Amino acid sequence: MSETILSLKNIHKSFGSNEVLKGIGFELKQGEKIVILGPSGSGKSTILRCINHLEEFQEGEISFKGKKVSRDELNSLRTHIGMVFQRFNIFSHMTVLENIIEAPVHVKKMKKADAIELAEDLLKKVGLEDKRDSYAKELSGGQQQRVAIARALAMQPDIMLFDEPTSALDPELVGEVLRVMKAVADAGMSMIVVTHEIGFARDVADRVVFVDGGKILDDKPPEEFFNNQKNERIRSFLSKISLK
Amino acid sequence: MIVDYSVVINKLPYLLQGAAVTFYISVLSLILGLVCGILLALMRDAKNPALSKFAFVYIWIFRGTPLLVQLFILYFGLPSLGMSLSSFQAAVLGLGLNTAAYVAEIIRSGIQAVDPGQREAAKALGMSWGLEMRRIVAPQAAKICLLPMVNQFVATLKNSSIVSLVTVAELMRVGDQIIATSFNAFSVYTSIALMYLIMTSVFMVLSNVLKRKLV
Ligand SMILES: Nc1ncnc2c1ncn2[C@@H]1O[C@H](COP(=O)(O)OP(=O)(O)O)[C@@H](O)[C@H]1O
Ligand SMILES: [Mg+2]
């Protein structure tokens, strides 16, 4: 079995008096893909945001490659964890190419020529080599999200986090983004994906984690999770999202 | 004949010299106001409560009291504390510190208008606070701030006429001195107005050039 790359232990997180995460714990192994499912407001985004410390949490521990992350290593940790957002967040004042080389050049101090070479290679992989000089406002949502994936991959991270990457997309654009994510998965990336795309979960996930009310209700491989689901609450959730 | 522009022609070298002083004082005050304003805007939103409170109080006082009173405190008031400034120093300092309070508010609202998602993406890529500010926030906030900033620059240039009251020989004061001997208030003041108009127009034209470059 491969080694654990990320582990969450008993994470508690409150916004003011509202406790949003009530003891979240799981492990991600090298190359493993976890899909997180759960109703809106259950704390899925908050889990991802705690993992790369965009949110602080009050209790519990997150370790990366066996080491607890200290406050002054945050920026360095984030270079190892790529994140893709629901709303793409492409830097609006930069071209596609500039978006992708920004962090490699300014954070990782990669030579610009090397970064451009890397970016062009990634643009080919996400099928956007002809858009390298476009701005976000000239691209469709699906294209923007593929740029966002390329931008995160350009840091050559160890883990990729996806927070409902297709939820803001028109239905006809979902497929192109899922295909790119599938390719990233097939290349061996360790991934945590929050999504309502059951097909993707069945196809790609090694484990499905179900979150409700800030707690993990279930955590098992997709065949078992979908085909042999005993929990009434989860069954009703699954029937609701498959109706959409 | 009261409306007689010949006096303006005769005294033109003095008026132009006054206009040059006005322009010089304004530019120095703007630079001071811009630098201090940026610092205040960053302090205002800093995590450190002492910094944030200082900036709040500064902005509150300088926006809530008349510029003329601020100038008088600097020029006539400070000597009683044993610090005296030349009229020119008092003018630049007063105008600059006053402008800083307004610039700070403009920059602060520009920063707040940047989509938080852009800043999250920057953080998630491992950018430090400074890098995020410089590479992502500043260029986007600059576009938002440009128009109110030009308005502020024009206001500072016009407000500089007030420093004639702390005896700086700028355009307004030179005009007053000419009127004191020639009694040609209408022609002298209208000529001064025209000179201010030319200077503020230069700012607006420059800002349009800048705007076309930015957008
Ligand atoms: N910045 C915030 N401030 C206050 N409450 C928040 C904040 N972010 C999220 N929450 C609350 O935390 C809960 C979980 O949110 P989230 O993790 O976004 O859920 P999900 O992604 O599963 O829809 C929600 O009740 C939400 O209102
Ligand atoms: Mg969410």
Hey, where are the domains in chain B? 6-214
Cβ < 6 Å from ligand 1: which residues? A 15, 20, 38, 40-46
Say if residues A225 and A56 touch (Cβ distance below 8 Å): no
Q: What pLDDT does residue A244 have? A: 60
Q: CB within 5 A of ion ligand 2: which residues?
A: A 45
Please write the tens of the pLDDT for every residue from A21-36: 999 999 999 999 999 9
Q: 10 Å Cβ neighbour count for B157?
A: 22
Atom of ligand 1 nearest to the CA of A44: 22
> What ipTM was assigned to the predicted interfaces of this complex?
0.94
Q: What pLDDT does residue A21 have? A: 98
CB spacing of A82 vs B118 below 8 angstroms: no
Ligand nearest to the backbone CA of A18: 1
Report residue B210's pLDDT band, with 50, 70 and 90 as the boundaries. Answer: confident
Interface test with A, best of B47, B119, B123, B125 (most A CBs within 10 A): B125
What one-character-per-residue DSSP string does chain A give? -PPEEEEEEEEEEEETTEEEEEEEEEEEETT-EEEEE--TTSSHHHHHHHHTTSS--SEEEEEETTEEPPGGGHHHHHHHEEEE-TT----TTSBHHHHHHHHHHHTS---HHHHHHHHHHHHHHTT-GGGTT-BGGGS-HHHHHHHHHHHHHTT--SEEEEESTTTTS-HHHHHHHHHHHHHHHHTT-EEEEE---HHHHHHH-SEEEEEETTEEEEEE-HHHHHHS---HHHHHHHHHHHH-
Average pLDDT, chain B: 94
Structurally, at CATH architecture level, domain B6-214 sits in Orthogonal Bundle (1.10)
Please write the tens of the pLDDT for every residue from A131-169: 999 999 999 999 999 999 999 999 999 999 999 999 999
Q: What pLDDT does residue B1 have? A: 53
Please write the tens of the pLDDT for every residue from A188-219: 999 999 999 999 999 999 999 999 999 999 99
| CA A237 / ligand 2 centre spacing (Å) | 16
Contact residues of B toward A, CB < 8 A = 115, 117-118, 120-128, 131, 135-136, 139-140, 143
Q: What pLDDT does residue B214 have? A: 74
